[in-house]
Copies of this chain bind each other. A is one copy, B any other.
Amino acid sequence: MRNKKISLEHGAGGKAMMNLIKQIAIKEISEKKVGPVGLNELDDGAAIDIGDENLIFTTDSHTIKPLFFPGGDIGKLAIAGTVNDLAVMGGKPLALSSAMVLSEGFPSEDLKKIIQSMNATAQKAGISLVTGDTKVMEKESLDEMIITTTGIGLANSLKTDGGLNLGDKIIVTGNIGEHETAIITRREGIEIGEGLRSDVAPIWDTVEAGLKIGGITAMKDPTRGGLAGTLNELASKSNIGISIYEDEIPIPSPVRNIGELLGIDPLQLTNEGKAVIGVEPERSKDVLEAIRKTENGKEAQIIGKTTKKPRKKVVLETEVGGKRLVRAPIGAPTPRIC
């Protein structure tokens, strides 16, 4: 590590960041868990034992640029991101904290809009914002603002990203690639993206609909690293293979078009209102049907299944009958998308 410096790739949710975290943070911290899931597991949050239930505990800093984008803003993103991290561990959203760092000169009107958006999103998700912090930095030291949200939730049935079993079906709860594509097109002024909006939304109700049916073995939200990163993590942590079918993956055409234009694989794009869910095969259709009845689950699909081989890998079966390995991205195509 000597003389190494942090690069943007390290914060992009791919392999580079995982290696950094593993090498430094996990190695140096001594006490890393107070329940079944702690820091070593690198899951979406931690699970802490309290009586019969698990307290789910998760945190994320949000640095997105621009602050306002088609389909949302940093406030909606901060609340939805944290709610969804609770949700994919089976945690019913209970309470949130919000720590804001603002740049000197930040317009109060924008701050008000962002807080109103946080409120609307929290209300939709049924979570209360119970505590917070505010700091201000000099204009030359911070660009605009950072919001760090931390959530706690209660899980009577804990889910992790390592619980897949052989034969499980893989569900994605809707269209992929919309969040990052909306940000890229807004940032780069690309016209082809007109009408495209980020999928950012709190999806506890979608996840809960599936949980009520039963048979869910693992969940994860395909944020940084996209569907490719998420599937690889599920496969790796579950010590199993995953096969997905190209023609079953819901990719909207603007996402596909912009991906082709810029040479970006839609499977690597960040999503902010989706979950990837592993389900026992006999329950998969009922879970899919329940998810499709929710506001953010209408486009849900069974996109694949677990396989014995190749272990810890993800294979894409193409529409023309070919097969290729889906790799976890090393970095993300674009910085500051969440």
Interface residues, chain A, with chain B CB atoms under 8 Å away:
1-12, 17, 20-21, 24-25, 28-35, 38-39, 43, 45-46, 48, 50-51, 55, 57-61, 63, 65, 94-95, 97-109, 111-112, 115-116, 118-119, 122-123, 127-138, 140-143, 146, 148, 150, 152, 335-336
Contacts and interface: CB of A to CB of B under 8 A. Distances in A.
B132 A39 contact: yes
A29 B97 contact: no
Contact of A108 (B1, B46, B48, B99): B1
Given A38-B130, A38-B131, A8 B138 contact: yes
Given A129-B29, A130-B33, A6 B105 contact: yes
Q: Which of A63, A123, A148, A150 has the most CB of B within 10 A?
A: A148
A251 B32 CA distance: 38
Q: Is the interface of A mostly helix, strand, loop or mixed?
A: mixed
A207 B11 CA distance: 38
B133 A60 contact: yes
A19 to B, nearest CB: 11
Given A129-B39, A130-B48, A137-B143, A148 B61 contact: yes
B5 A128 contact: no
A107 B55 CA distance: 35
A105 to B, nearest CB: 5
